[in-house]
Amino acid sequence: MIDPLKLSRRFAGLRSLIDNRPSGASLRFMQLGALALLALCPAIALAQTNCETSSDMDAATQTALTNTALHYYDLIAKGDTATLRQNSIPALTADFSGIAATITANQSALAAAAPTARPAFLLTAQGTEPLSHAEFFCGVFGRNGQTSGSAAFYLNGLAPGKYGVVILDAPSAKGVYTVSEILQQQGSDWKLGGLYIKDAHFNGHDSNWFISQAEAFQKKGETHNAWLYYVVARTLISPLPFMSTAATDKLYDESQKVQPADFPEEGKTSDLSAGATTYKLIALFPEVVGNDLDLIVKYQVPSIADSNQTYESNMAVMKALVSKFPELRDAFTSVVARAVDPSGHDYGTMLAMKSIK
């Protein structure tokens, strides 16, 4: 029997990473092109949803989804953003800048690849109004949760309709890429509703490498580094930030064994003392910036209006963080501190790890 609460908790760790990533960051291992239809959801599912795996759906639908996704991939590889925009849903057509930027950044790598499609998923959202919260459980779930062919999708604000999820594997000389397309049925056509492109490797290292590093950190008693590297490993094998699989669930369970009690998590803050000041940390997670693996720390401030004062606070937070957890020096190139005011606006400062004294 499926335990929805357990599944939602497993998803929450990855959702938290997505929600808290710094705006404007260079996301090589989680590169968001656009998602006009779908957003992340922290809650339990409503019952107005249905999911069919490739083996469940009729042959005509399965063929249409796969062929459409491969056709759109061809447009991406050619850099034909004009035609792709014409074949997108209206909400995406109205603002295609995110899709266009992602295609430009990845076109050369994808042009040299030969994509293969994974089995597609067909999501059906029922009703007449957008679903505030929706979860889709696809395939066979066992006593312990997901199996090798299953998947779960966690979505928010989803309009009624049929949606295809097609993931294409596109290994090339420049990386091991996945191209994930969200397709919405409009009449007899499948229009592009979202696009995610990501490299499943970072600096030549795949998820298994980060798992091995996490295990090595754990053996040395460096549980903070271990947990953070499990986060990277889980991100690398997740084609979509709102999708979980047996593999991501397994990594979540492993990471829970070393979840630091003194790190912020899922809306719970943690305290960091810097001299006479105590800062409330709201997020702490790894991030790829170019070829570097950096550590992002976000904390609460009443205001960021005074940039000089905020800069000094950022510097104090970074130094206090590394002083409290010196093991971080072995795992990250730089630290980025982002002060966040009550309205959600932030001010960030980066400092190379070697410069933090």
Do 132 and 150 belong together in one domain? yes
Cα–Cα dist 60/57, whole Å: 8
Number of H helices, E strands in the chain: 9, 17
Chain centroid offset of residue 163 CA:
20
The pLDDT assigned to 10 comes to 52
Per residue in 207-237, pLDDT (tens digit) is 999 999 999 999 999 999 999 999 999 999 9
Task: Answer yes or no: do 156 and 11 share one domain.
Answer: yes
Instruction: Give residue 276's pLDDT.
Output: 92
Q: Dihedral sign, CA of 99, 101, 106, 111?
A: positive
Q: Same domain for 88 and 108? A: yes
Provide the pLDDT for residue 162. Answer: 96
Predicted pLDDT of residue 1: 41
Whether 50 is in a domain gets the answer yes
* Statement to judge: residues 284 and 339 lie in one domain: yes
Q: Count up the domains in the chain and report the number.
A: 3
Q: Do the Cβ atoms of 118 and 213 come closer than 8 Å?
A: no
Same-domain status, 291 and 153: no
pLDDT at 59: 95
SS3 33: strand
301 with 339: CB under 8 angstroms?
Answer: yes
Residues 295, 314 share a domain: yes
What pLDDT is recorded for position 23?
34
Question: Does 265 map to a domain?
Answer: no
Q: Which residues of the chain have pLDDT under 50?
A: 1-8, 12-47
pLDDT, one tens digit per residue, over 305-320 is: 999 999 999 999 999 9
Name the E strands within 148-291: 151-158, 161-172, 175-186, 189-199, 243-244, 270-274, 277-289
Rounded Cα gap, residues 176 and 202, in angstroms: 10
Instruction: Note whether 42 and 109 are same-domain residues.
Output: yes
Domain of 82? 4-199
35 and 128 belong to one structural domain? yes
The reported pLDDT for the residue numbered 19 is 47
pLDDT tens digits along 81-128: 999 999 999 999 999 999 999 999 999 999 999 999 999 999 999 988
Evaluate whether residue 263 is within a structural domain: no
pTM of the complete model: 0.81
280, 213: one domain: no
Strands (E) across 187-340 are located at: 189-199, 243-244, 270-274, 277-289, 292-300, 334-340
Q: In the prediction, which pLDDT does 192 show?
A: 97
pLDDT score recorded for residue 214? 96
Q: Where are the alpha helices (DSSP H) in 190-245?
A: 207-219, 223-236
Do 98 and 159 lie in a common domain? yes
User: At residue 7, what are phi and psi to the nearest 5 degrees?
Assistant: -65, -40
